[in-house]
A and B are shown apart, each in its own frame.
Chain A
Amino acid sequence: MHRYNSIIIGAGHNGMVCANYLARSGQKVLLLESSDSVGGLASVREFHPEFKTSIAHSISYFSEKVARDLNLKKHGFNLDAAPLPTIGLSADTNHIVLQGGRISGVANDDEQSYGKYLELIQRFANMVKPFWLQTVPPIGNNSLPEIMSYAHLGMNMRLMGKADMREFLRILTLPMRDLMDENFDNEILKAMLSWDGLIGSKLAPRSPNHSLITLLLRMSGPTAHQVSSASVKTLIEALHSSASASGVEIRTGAPVAEIVIGDGAEGLLATGVKLDTGEQIEADCVISSADPKKTFLDLVGVQHLEIGFTNRIRRLRADGYVAKFHLALKELPEFSGLDSPDGRLLIAPDMDVIEFAYDDAKYGHCSMVPVMEIVIPSIHDETLAPAGQHVLSAHVMYVPRYLQGGWDDQVREAYTQLLIDTIAKYAPGIREQILHHELLIPADLEREYGVTGGHWHHSELSLDQSLMMRPTYGAAQYQTPIGGLHLCGAGCHPGGGLMGGAGHNAAQEILK
């Protein structure tokens, strides 16, 4: 008998969710985290004394089921916290505000179209919603329950009626650009609505692929195109406290160096892990929330894997294109034409600006006209900054990991100034309020958070790497070619973002 039924590698939110479910089912669970705190990309980051934020700065679709199952409310996380508006900043202060189902700042036509658009997209989002919280079975040789889950999807589609079904199939892989141009006139509005389909991926408005599906995933929560006012910090604290309460043993500062592989009757078996210190811990089952490339290529090692499989993992696209920009501010910044910068602020004047930023990044450059999403999390969580002071957190899109000529200090400084200038266009006084700034490019995220490519989803969320093929066949369905080794992080279906879907599904699969 091993001391542990399961060892989970990585105490990001998915690792904690998975560990919690397993512990609740009666398993003895050890959760190992390499850094000194839990939360992974959502962990608290003190980037300047007493100024804190996290890489993932907002919550928009955390699973209600997971929150309920794990009693997160009791542990201090309120999923029902009021949603915040998304505000499309306009240089002439004619900002567009999306809140609830309402929109302001656009012409009548667009306002009406928005109502219809939102209703349709929300219907689609509701239809596919059950699939985010279940295993998508592989294709071929299916068991009855697996066939049923496809039947269920087919059924949901039929129930939508023929017109909807046709429309769903038509727009499913459509570029955001086409979808927006079909529906709206206002350029800022189009950029805003497409944002949620693009953020985190290597896709631009004109890319046909996965952006609508990503959008539907992000709309699986209660707050379409909005973010919750609940802070990421309370979510991670609640997940931590709930996991501990369920009996999960959590060890931070415990990097796993190797997944120990032994020989079983039907092939190789994961029998435990070896830490950096050399300490070896045995378990019946090892579950990794580290990204797929890291899990297989570094922790398992290619000598234990098939050659074709190894090369599919090698070919996974996992270059992150989102940089983080943090400002410690003396006071709350003032954005022209806004009563309060409370909400999610988007700087993306039109879809072409987004597209060109992508084009630049694709060829190893940084756009001179950056696009970004800003939140000021200290408005709703005063523990993040000293009284009266604030943190500004921005996701800057399409920042390449490999810059032509390289990322040296000079380039970083120039880019930092460009970002400040860009924000100052909308918040003219901000430069004087800055106490400290921090720029984290994808390579920094990779180094500091142990995520290959610093990728939002651990591995690109695109048609070839999604659903029953996420991260790739042979490692999908939370199983791997190695017995007793499972995945449970963002690299699995349904992908990244603070949701808990992957951790939840992995636990269900393991407990089957």
Chain B
Amino acid sequence: MTSEQFDFSREQLKRSHFHPRQAAFNVRDAWSAWNGYKFADCYYDAEYEYFCVRNTCGTYDICPMQKYNIKGRDAEVMLNRMVTRDITKSRVNRVSYVVWCTDEGRLIDDGTIFKLADDEFMLVCGSPCTAWLEKSAFGFKEVTITDVSDEIAALALQGPTSCTVLRKMGLDGITKVKPFNISYFPFQGESLMVSRTGFSGDLGYELWVKPEQALELWDALYAAGANYGIHPFGETATNMARIEAGFIMPGFEFNEALKTVHFEHDQTPFELNLGWLVDFKKSHFNGRSALLAEQTRGARFTLTKLDIEGNKTAEGSFLYGNKQCSLEIGYVTSAMWSPAVKANIALAMIKTEYLGGNIWAEIYYEKELRQYSKVARCEVKEKPFWMPARARANPPAGSLV
């Protein structure tokens, strides 16, 4: 049999605009897929890439992220009715982190809204949401929604040396860009959009250019970053960084509510500790009544950061209110040994009523093919595990080298 017989009508994963360069780095051929794009789990070694993000800098391909251009006189009211946060407070050239919910107040997805002009926005999110956007726009006369996911080449540059690298690349004034701000820089005859955003919890930027300029951007960046430890990082390293930063991820902390079958197999913003994104003072938004009722009643679960004794990661663990493990109070959603903070950390959904008490994790682990279990004490952490001052500092510390 020829390989052609197995090629399923020649259906192929799309290649990212940065693929030619990334493929060269991907010495392990560790590809998986994301939104129809061929996407790297890691390039060389996930831990190595993680350390680049934490100690120097790394690039993460966000071409597969879904990007929607939402334009027109009603664009703002339409989006404001869709998301729980008041985006009318945002200024042009600002980015807002937002979530949006079903009528029942269950989280559909999170994402960022880029305010490009008074009547133009870009919504960036992890999963396709054309159908929901179309439904959300129904009834608003002047708004057009365009899926521009493939028409923008976007690359995240994250880590302590990221600002310096951009400066070396010639982006004069990059040090003035504040967190969640957007700025434009001339780049090889065109305009390069830079936002101080990211998913690593550290200092970082996201770069947005036309697809034709993708490789030029890459080359310029890697030339400037040669002495600053730049390296591409894949999904695995991203996941490590975001757990330390306490960011939620679909498939871990939450299920996209439009995709769940079972009632309450999805979550609310309050359960995910994102109550600060829900603004009851603004005009009506989707899920408002349900969320108002939940606020009064109190969230059933609360997403909690845990520091767990020992070094056995608590992936998939049940949590108990007592050491005998007879009182089940929740479950771990993400867990890892954090090399940066040298702690056994986890994110967990815990029944709110038990938050004040003792928390024990029942951890299963393996040693040379033998299974063991232990019960470990957990300590609740209020702050993200990784939150260096430079991430928010203006100008970012260390960037003036």
A residues with a Cβ closer than 8 A to B are 261, 266-268, 297, 301-311, 314, 474, 481
Contact = CB atoms under 8 A, between A and B. Distances in A.
Given A266-B292, A266-B293, A303-B81, A308 B139 contact: no
B286 to A, nearest CB: 5
B342 interface: no
Nearest to A481: B289
A267 B138 contact: no
B287 interface: yes
A328 to B, nearest CB: 42
B139 A306 contact: no
B284 A307 contact: no
Contacts of B138: 302, 310-311, 314
Interface string B108-151: 00000000000000000000000010011011100000000000
B283 interface: yes
Interface in B69-109: 77, 81-82, 102-103
B287 A306 contact: yes
Given A267-B292, A307-B286, A481-B289, A302 B103 contact: no
A425 B291 CA distance: 65
B43 to A, nearest CB: 40
Given A303-B283, A307-B82, A308-B103, A267 B136 contact: no
Contacts of A305: 284
A307 B135 contact: yes
Q: Which one of B135, B136, B283, B284 has the greatest number of beta carbons of chain A within 10 Å? A: B284
A309 B139 contact: no
Interface in B165-181: none
A310 B139 contact: yes
A302 B289 contact: no
Given A308-B102, A308-B103, A267 B139 contact: no
A269 to B, nearest CB: 11
B234 to A, nearest CB: 35
Interface string B286-321: 111100110000000000000000000000000000
B143 to A, nearest CB: 11
Contact of B139 (A261, A266, A297, A474): A297
B140 A302 contact: yes
B288 A267 contact: yes
A310 B135 contact: yes
A309 B103 contact: yes
Contacts of A301: 139
Contacts of A304: 284
Nearest to A302: B139
25 contacts: A266-B289, A266-B293, A267-B288, A267-B289, A268-B284, A268-B288, A297-B139, A301-B139, A303-B81, A303-B139, A303-B140, A304-B284, A305-B284, A306-B286, A307-B102, A307-B103, A307-B132, A307-B136, A307-B286, A308-B102, A308-B135, A310-B135, A311-B138, A474-B103, A481-B289
Given A306-B286, A308-B103, A481-B289, 9 more contacts: A261-B284, A266-B293, A303-B77, A303-B140, A303-B284, A307-B81, A307-B135, A308-B286, A311-B138
A249 B255 CA distance: 53
Nearest to A474: B103
A309 to B, nearest CB: 6
A268 B132 CA distance: 23
A266 B102 CA distance: 18
Contacts of A297: 139
- 7 nearest A-B residue pairs (beta carbon): A302-B139, A306-B103, A267-B289, A308-B103, A311-B135, A307-B286, A307-B136
